[in-house]
Structure 1
Amino acid sequence: MKKEAPKHAHMDWFPVIDNCLHAGGQSITRLAARVGQTPFYVYDRNIMTRKVELLREALPQGLHLHYAMKANPMPAVVQHLSQLTNGIDVASVAEMQVALNTGIDPLTISFAGPGKNDAELRSAIAAGIIINMESEGEMERIAQIGESLEILPHVAIRVNPDFELKTSGMKMGGGPKPFGVDAERVPEMLKRCGELNLNFKGFHIFSGSQNLRPEAIIEAQTKTFALAYRLAEFAPQPITWLNIGGGLGIPYFPGEETLPLDAIADNLKPLIIEAQARLPDAEIVMELGRYFVGEAGLYISEVVECKESRGEKFAITNGGLHHHLSASGNFGQIIRKNYPVCVANNVSSDSLEKVSVVGPLCTPLDIITDKMLLPVVVIGDLIAVYQSGAYGFTASPRDFLSHPHPLEILV
Structure 2
Amino acid sequence: MSASDTAKPAHGPDVARSIFAVDGSDLMVGGVAVRSIVEHVGRPTFLYDGGILRASYRALADALDGFAEIHYSVKANPAKAIIALFLSEGAGIEIASIGEYRAAIAAGAAPERILFAGPGKRRRELEEVIADGIGEIHVESHEEIERIEAIAAGLSLRVKISLRINPMAEAQAGAMRMGGKPTAFGFCEEDLDPVFAQLAQCRQLDFVGVHIYGGTQILDAEALLNQWRHGIRIAGDIAARLGRPLETIDLGGGLGIPYYAGETPLDLAAFKAGLPELSALLAADSNLAAARIVVEPGRFLTGPGGIYVAEVNAVKDVRGTLFVITDGGMHHHLAASGNLGQIIKRDYPIVAPARMDEAPSMAATIVGPLCTPLDTLARSALLPALKAGDLIAVLQSGAYGPSASPGNFLSHAPAAEVLVENGEVMIL
TM range (shorter): over 0.9
TM-score, normalised via structure 1 length:
0.93
Stretch of structure 1 that moved more, 55-64 or 385-394: 55-64
Give, in angstroms, the shift of residue 195 of structure 1. 2.7
Query: Is residue 94 of structure 2 the alignment partner of residue 89 of structure 1?
Result: yes
- Which one of 237, 240, 247 corresponds to residue 233 of structure 1? 240
Contiguous gaps of at least 5 residues in structure 1: 1-8
Residue correspondence of structure 1 range 84-163 to structure 2 within 5 A: 84-129=89-134, 130-163=136-169
Give, in angstroms, the shift of residue 42 of structure 1. 0.6
Q: Aligned equivalents of 2:353 and 2:15: distance in 1? A: 16
Size of the alignment, in residue pairs? 403
Q: Aligned equivalents of 1:14 and 1:101: distance in 2? A: 34
Q: SS of the residue aligned with 1:291?
A: helix
- Which one of 385, 389, 406 corresponds to residue 394 of structure 2? 385
Q: Which residue of 2 aligns with 1:408?
A: 417
Give, in angstroms, the shift of residue 191 of structure 1. 3.8
On the 8 A contact 2:172/2:178 being kept in 1, the answer is no
Give, in angstroms, the shift of residue 393 of structure 1. 1.2
- Which one of 298, 310, 320 corresponds to residue 301 of structure 1? 310
- Which one of 167, 170, 184 corresponds to residue 176 of structure 2? 170
Q: Which residue of 2 aligns with 1:4?
A: none
Q: Sort the Cα spacing of 1:348 and 1:158 in 2 relative to 1 into closer, same or farther, 3 A.
A: same
Give, in angstroms, the shift of residue 392 of structure 1. 1.0
| Paired letter, 2:45 | F
Q: Aligned equivalents of 1:116 and 1:39: distance in 2? A: 34
Q: Which residue of 2 aligns with 1:243?
A: 250
Q: Which residue of 2 aligns with 1:75?
A: 80
Q: SS of the residue aligned with 1:355?
A: strand
Give, in angstroms, the shift of residue 188 of structure 1. 3.6
| Paired letter, 1:318 | D
Give, in angstroms, the shift of residue 365 of structure 1. 1.2
Identity score, percent: 40
Structure of higher RCO (CA pairs closer than 8 Å, 6+ residues apart): 2
Query: Is residue 372 of structure 2 the alignment partner of residue 371 of structure 1?
Result: no
Give, in angstroms, the shift of residue 228 of structure 1. 0.6
On the 8 A contact 2:173/2:224 being kept in 1, the answer is no
Contiguous gaps of at least 5 residues in structure 2: 1-9, 421-428
On the 8 A contact 1:82/1:104 being kept in 2, the answer is yes
Deviating 4+ runs (over 6 angstroms): none
- Which one of 355, 361, 366 corresponds to residue 352 of structure 1? 361
Q: Which residue of 2 aligns with 1:28?
A: 34
Give, in angstroms, the shift of residue 334 of structure 1. 1.2
Q: Sort the Cα spacing of 1:39 and 1:66 in 2 relative to 1 into closer, same or farther, 3 A.
A: same
Q: Sort the Cα spacing of 1:299 and 1:268 in 2 relative to 1 into closer, same or farther, 3 A.
A: same
Q: Aligned equivalents of 1:199 and 1:381: distance in 2? A: 58
Residue correspondence of structure 1 range 267-278 to structure 2 within 5 A: 267-278=274-285
Query: Is residue 326 of structure 2 the alignment partner of residue 317 of structure 1?
Result: yes
Measured on the aligned residues, the alpha-carbon RMSD in Å equals 1.9
| Paired letter, 2:222 | E
Give, in angstroms, the shift of residue 276 of structure 1. 4.1
Give, in angstroms, the shift of residue 358 of structure 1. 0.9
Q: SS of the residue aligned with 2:334?
A: coil
Stretch of structure 1 that moved more, 60-69 or 372-381: 60-69
TM-score, normalised via structure 2 length:
0.90
Stretch of structure 1 that moved more, 212-221 or 397-406: 212-221
Q: Aligned equivalents of 1:189 and 1:207: distance in 2? A: 20
Stretch of structure 1 that moved more, 222-231 or 212-221: 212-221
Q: SS of the residue aligned with 1:193?
A: helix
Q: Which residue of 1 aligns with 2:5?
A: none
Stretch of structure 1 that moved more, 344-353 or 75-84: 344-353
Query: Is residue 264 of structure 2 the alignment partner of residue 263 of structure 1?
Result: no
